[in-house]
Chains A and B, each alone.
Chain A
Amino acid sequence: MESRGASAWRWLREHAVVIVGILVVLYMLVPILVIFAFSFNDPAGRYNFTWVGFTLEHWRNAFGIPELNEALLTSLKLAVLATLISTVIGTLMAMALVRYEFFGRRPANFLIVIPMATPEVVMGSALLSFFLLINTFSLGFETLLIAHVMFCISFVVVVVRSRLIGFDRNLEEAAKDLGASPLQTFRLVTLPLIMPGIFGAAMLAFALSIDDFVISNFNSGTTVTFPLYIFGAAQRGIPVEVNVIAMILFFFTCAAMGFATWQQRRAEKMASVRPEQEAGVGFPAGAPAAT
């Protein structure tokens, strides 16, 4: 009897980390489940806070609110443009920082890190001050795009840079030995190999942009993005359709994430030319350790 209690206690002690880990994961997933569940709710009034009854009505009517659609469309347009611009200029910056030794490299690194260490409310209010005082930009889509590209660049640089650091330069040497021009080498060897990194960076930029509220809140003027619509609607009651669209975005992002991981694994197989080198399981956030 006592030994059974003792062994149960031992089991609990040995598995404590795992148990806590599982509880924390549940804690992280509960709000998502709540959002999902309440997308099927049939609220009595305007407030979707208490469970009333099950209905598929709001999934059927997902795109039935014109202002919400417009806000979503603005967000998508903004995110696509911000992703394109920040991915291109961020990738170029990452190339410069990893491949070249040059005067001003440290300040450049600092310039990239410091926006990530600044609270969004400071970035948002600084940009608004700037726009107010110079008076050449009118607040709206244009200023939103400027802001979104600004806060995406640093993240793109960090992700692409980690990919470039784990890069086997011998492959480029081989291409040159085989008579490829620098441009051909870049297009046919370098770019395909760092493509998963660039794709991961682009996905991150897209996610950051479409989810941004604080900086947009300061610089949107009268333009309404998806998060700004939710903020505005929060006071007068959020329509259930918002939950539906949030879940659609969620599933869409999951699919994109799955695709990116699959691509990355494929690229790692491609890149692991030396048989003794084992391709580690890659995750966008974790850089392959430089040897």
Chain B
Amino acid sequence: MRRRVVPYFLLGPGAAWLLLFFVVPLYYMGKLSLESGVVGALEFDWNWGNYSDALQLYDAQFVRSFIYAGVATLAALLLGYPLAYAIAFKAGRWRNLLLFAVVAPFFTTYLIRTLAWETILSDQSPVVSVLDLLGLAPEGRALATGGAVIAGLTYNFLPFMVLPIYASLERIDVRLIEAGKDLYASATQTFFRVTLPLSAPGVVAGTLLTFIPASGDYVNAQFLGSAGNQMIGNVIQSLYLKQSDYPAAAALSFVLMALILILVLVYIRFAGSEALMGEEAV
């Protein structure tokens, strides 16, 4: 009898905290999104108009957020996979040092890292001259463009891509890869038929861990973009904290969460769920 109560007792404080300060706030945000009136005199009256108004006004920012986040996720995958592969199979005794290098950016504050990119991409920087020579920086400017925002997003969330892919590559039984070679598969065939499928859970987890925070981010667009590169996070932040238009902001935030949830569920249906829930949860 006593044993039955124990898990609930252990679970209690944490579950209560998450319910009270994560789930309940979502309910309140939903309520706020259906209110009308001005600050101080808000009234709940099922005002669904907030949703249609907000979406009509800010549809461009929504679309832009998902495009930027999508491109950044793809770029992070293309950069992160080779790195994870090199660490897992080629690094030897350098492995721990390289893993350290992957997480090292986390040891400096997120805002300062992004501001460092502002320095790197500023007009007088040598990096911009090189980009200009390559034709990648029109009119010698890299800052305040969509490309800069995407580069910042890619950089900031790259470790979230590398670590899960590395974890799944590291778990692969090397004998499977050797078997592929023994059976006369070329290196390319072995990679696409054996290694890549076996690392799929890591790729799924990595893309989600990159895409979700990237689509809601507003720091990169704020520091590296111009007014024309604002993402939906910028709008939500500004409506909440500067304009105090709470109902519209709450509606946008709710739609953002719903859209991401839908995208994630669709993605997981195609890619398998064990990556998100963790293998022990299945």
The CB with the most chain B CB atoms within 10 A, among A29, A112, A133, A165, is that of A133
- The interface-forming segment of A58-66, A101-109, A170-178 is A101-109
> Does any Cβ of A come within 8 Å of B167's Cβ?
yes
Q: Min CB distance, A113 to chain B, in Å? A: 6
Q: Which of A93, A118, A230 contacts B115 (CB 8 A)?
A: A230
Q: Is the CB of A214 within 8 A of B219?
A: yes
Q: Is the CB of B13 within 8 A of A92?
A: yes
> Does any Cβ of B come within 8 Å of A242's Cβ?
yes
Q: Which of B167, B208, B246 contacts A117 (CB 8 A)?
A: B208
Q: How long is the Cα–Cα vector from A281 to B7 in the complex, in angstroms?
A: 31
Q: Min CB distance, B31 to chain A, in Å? A: 7
Q: Min CB distance, A144 to chain B, in Å? A: 12
Residues of B in contact, count (CB < 8 Å) = 96
Q: A122-B216, A153-B18, A158-B278 are in contact. Are A49 and B122 (CB under 8 A)?
A: yes
The chain A residue with its CB closest to the CB of B239 is: A125
> Does any Cβ of A come within 8 Å of B119's Cβ?
yes
Chain B 9-26 interface residues, beta-carbon cutoff 8 Å to A: 10-11, 13-15, 17-19, 21-26
- Residues of the A chain whose Cβ atoms lie less than 8 Å from the Cβ of B204: none
> Does any Cβ of B come within 8 Å of A285's Cβ?
yes
- Residues of the A chain whose Cβ atoms lie less than 8 Å from the Cβ of B280: 98, 161, 165, 290
Interface majority SS (helix, strand, loop, mixed), chain B = helix
Q: Min CB distance, B55 to chain A, in Å? A: 16
- Residues of the A chain whose Cβ atoms lie less than 8 Å from the Cβ of B82: 16-17, 20-21, 24
Q: Is the CB of B119 within 8 A of A92?
A: no
Q: How long is the Cα–Cα vector from A17 to B187 in the complex, in angstroms?
A: 13
Q: Is the CB of A95 within 8 A of B108?
A: no
Q: How long is the Cα–Cα vector from A146 to B19 in the complex, in angstroms?
A: 12
Q: Sort chain A's interface into a size bin.
A: 35 or more
Q: Which of A21, A106, A129, A257 contacts B90 (CB 8 A)?
A: A21
> Does any Cβ of A come within 8 Å of B87's Cβ?
yes
Q: Is the CB of A35 within 8 A of B86?
A: no
Chain A 238-291 interface residues, beta-carbon cutoff 8 Å to B: 238, 242-243, 246-247, 249-250, 253-254, 257, 261, 281, 283, 285-287, 289-290
Contact with A along B165-185 (1 / 0, CB 8 A): 011001100000000000000
The chain B residue with its CB closest to the CB of A226 is: B109
Q: Min CB distance, A187 to chain B, in Å? A: 16
Q: A238-B115, A253-B107 are in contact. Are A157 and B90 (CB under 8 A)?
A: no
Contact with A along B146-161 (1 / 0, CB 8 A): 0000000001001100
Q: Min CB distance, B21 to chain A, in Å? A: 4
- Residues of the B chain whose Cβ atoms lie less than 8 Å from the Cβ of A290: 279-280
Q: Min CB distance, B121 to chain A, in Å? A: 10
Q: How long is the Cα–Cα vector from A242 to B95 in the complex, in angstroms?
A: 32
Q: How long is the Cα–Cα vector from A71 to B277 in the complex, in angstroms?
A: 37
Q: Is the CB of B11 within 8 A of A96?
A: yes
Q: Is the CB of A29 within 8 A of B104?
A: yes
Q: Which of B13, B18, B80, B171 contacts A115 (CB 8 A)?
A: B18
Q: Which of A50, A165, A238 contacts B124 (CB 8 A)?
A: A50
Given A21-B90, A283-B96: 16 more A-B contacts, CB < 8 Å: A17-B82, A24-B82, A27-B79, A29-B101, A32-B116, A50-B122, A89-B14, A93-B11, A96-B8, A97-B11, A102-B8, A117-B261, A211-B106, A213-B219, A234-B115, A250-B104
Give the top 5 A-B pairs by smallest Cβ distance, nearest first: A119-B216, A21-B86, A130-B25, A100-B7, A31-B116
